[in-house]
Amino acid sequence: MTDQAMDVAERPGSLVRAEQGLLGRPIDRIDGPAKVTGTATYAFEHAPAGVAVAAIVGAPVAAGRVIRIDTAAAEALPGVLAVIAGDPRMPAGQANSRAMPEQGTTRIFHYGQPLAIVVAEDQATANDAARLVRVEVDATAPRADPRGQPVEAKPGIGFLPPVEIGDVDAALDRATVTIDRTYTTPVHFPAALEPHATTAWWEGDRLTLRISNQVIGAARKTIAKALGIDADRVRVLAPFVGGGFGGKTGVGTEAILAAIAAEHVGRPVKVALPRRQVAYMVHHRSDTVQRIRIGADAQGRIAAMAHDSVVHQNDQGAFLEPVPFGTLPLYAGAARRFTTGLVRVDLPETGAVRAPGEAVGTFAVECGMDELAEELGINPLDLRRLNEPAADPTSGKPFSTRRMLDCYDEGARRFGWPATLPAPGSVREGEWLIGIG
């Protein structure tokens, strides 16, 4: 027998390396005391010596091209340090490690797209000057209604490919009981308590940003790429973030513009998006139209499930809301189809917002399951127990851990789930209708 030794020490897996020993322990959050006592300083509150403030000028129309930007009146206002327009690095939208927006473009992708930035001694002056900037455009009719545009059945973006197993339509035709329902969800804005903000300053050829951002490692590389400099010259600081909900996973236009403005005036510059601008300069979750079709036998065993969705995105966006992301492994059923179609519109970019796909897709499928239980005349919890898969219903691979049945049982016990549900709309407390779900 021979002795053998590894060339390098065994490296634990990523999940093991991520263990922190915090679950189940009453540990204070590291930033908790500072936040609850009001001593935490956020990106816009950082005030290096000589800091100037800025306001962003947005596109006045939703589609078209910029012909000319007249900055003379804004530049003449006392207290204005600079009005910057036409910089080739100016982004037309949010950036992230996977996709960069167009830069220095004259094309207008949506209303409010950043076109210029005004730098002044104080916020009031910056805001007043921004209103004096005149943007001449060649406007075109915008594609404003996602319901009125053609659907790309196989969009070339997104990380979740369509799934089709078996003959779904034939299985639905053979099913004893079927439901066919369409559900819609609206746009969701990641309106965090802290607005999107950046304070930027240069020290020689090195850039530092105090930023409100959820992924600062990727932000550093993205900012460097947008500005055309080496990432080693960029430092990103985000000691406190007042919420993000996914809207701060990319690099907002305010960060790139603050860096450009600070370079231009030779002073630190800070900029925060007002709530109105958050609505159209920050990505949001797409609205959805979801058609749910489920076919089952008389006992409730699912034979077929189709979850066909449509979402929207603008022409430079590369994110596709992964609507069925959370529903793919939920229930058994031999025939399965999960698709997401795309509509292109002249609206702000869509992106990852809290629980991408899961938040909207699970809602629709669970509503469909409740409707199926009603058609079958069985308890909706029993329907879910009956269709608990023994293995991943899409790949066929065994689950490493799956305790959904335990969760159903414990949840029902704690909730006091009734064996027989009252008919919808039959339980009242005064003027209130009481539902169970």
In tens, the pLDDT along 175-228 reads 999 999 999 999 999 999 999 999 999 999 999 999 999 999 999 999 999 999
Coil, helix or strand at residue 196 = coil
Candidates 131, 134, 115, 48; CA nearest to 257 is: 115
Mean pLDDT of 248-265: 98
Judge residue 387's burial from the number of C-beta atoms within 10 Å of its C-beta, 0-12 exposed, 13-18 middle, 19 or more buried: buried
Which pLDDT score, from 0 to 100, does residue 327 have? 93
412 close to 381: Cβ distance less than 8 angstroms: yes
Q: Do residues 178 and 203 share a domain? A: no
Cα–Cα distance for residue pair 35/284, rounded to 1 Å: 26
In tens, the pLDDT along 86-135 reads 999 999 999 876 788 999 999 999 999 999 999 999 999 999 999 999 99
Candidates 295, 297, 299, 302; CA nearest to 387 is: 302
On whether residue 12 sits in a domain, the answer given is: no
Q: Do residues 60 and 83 share a domain? A: yes
- Give the other-Cβ count within 10 Å of 407's Cβ: 10
In tens, the pLDDT along 28-64 reads 888 999 999 999 999 999 999 999 999 999 999 999 9
CA angle, residues 124, 127, 128, in degrees to nearest 5: 85
Among 249, 281, 313, the domain boundary falls at: 281
Q: Do residues 318 and 169 share a domain? A: yes
Q: Do residues 317 and 436 share a domain? A: no
β-strands 107-108, 335-344 pairing: unpaired
Integer CA distances (angstroms), 283 to 29, 275, 319, in order: 28, 13, 10
Q: Do residues 230 and 309 share a domain? A: no
Cα–Cα distance for residue pair 121/101, rounded to 1 Å: 30
Q: Do residues 392 and 359 share a domain? A: yes
Q: Do residues 412 and 369 share a domain? A: no
Percent of the chain clearing pLDDT 70 (strictly above): 97
On whether residue 18 sits in a domain, the answer given is: no
Q: Do residues 292 and 204 share a domain? A: no
On whether residue 366 sits in a domain, the answer given is: yes
In tens, the pLDDT along 66-76 reads 999 999 999 99
List of residues 6+ apart from 372 with CB closer than 8 A: 177, 179, 294, 296, 300, 383
Domain that holds residue 264: 44-139+191-281
Q: Do residues 269 and 298 share a domain? A: no
On whether residue 324 sits in a domain, the answer given is: yes
pTM for this one?
Answer: 0.90
On whether residue 360 sits in a domain, the answer given is: yes
CA angle, residues 390, 391, 395, in degrees to nearest 5: 155
Which pLDDT score, from 0 to 100, does residue 5 have? 65
What are the tokens at 220?
């550093």
Q: Do residues 303 and 417 share a domain? A: no
Q: Tell me the β-bridge partners of 310.
A: 289, 341
Q: Do residues 230 and 116 share a domain? A: yes
Give the single-character DSSP code of 63.
Answer: S
Candidates 112, 90, 45; CA nearest to 282 is: 112
On whether residue 3 sits in a domain, the answer given is: no
Among 254, 281, 308, the domain boundary falls at: 281
Q: Which CATH number belongs to the domain containing residue 93 in this structure?
A: 3.30.365.10
Residue with tokens 């002056």: 125
Number of domain units in the chain: 3
Q: Do residues 176 and 291 share a domain? A: yes
Coil, helix or strand at residue 296 = strand
Among 237, 252, 281, the domain boundary falls at: 281
On whether residue 417 sits in a domain, the answer given is: yes
List of residues 6+ apart from 265 with CB closer than 8 A: 52, 81, 82, 119
On whether residue 221 sits in a domain, the answer given is: yes
Integer CA distances (angstroms), 196 to 26, 48, 112, 240, 395, in order: 31, 19, 15, 12, 40
Percent of the chain clearing pLDDT 90 (strictly above): 86
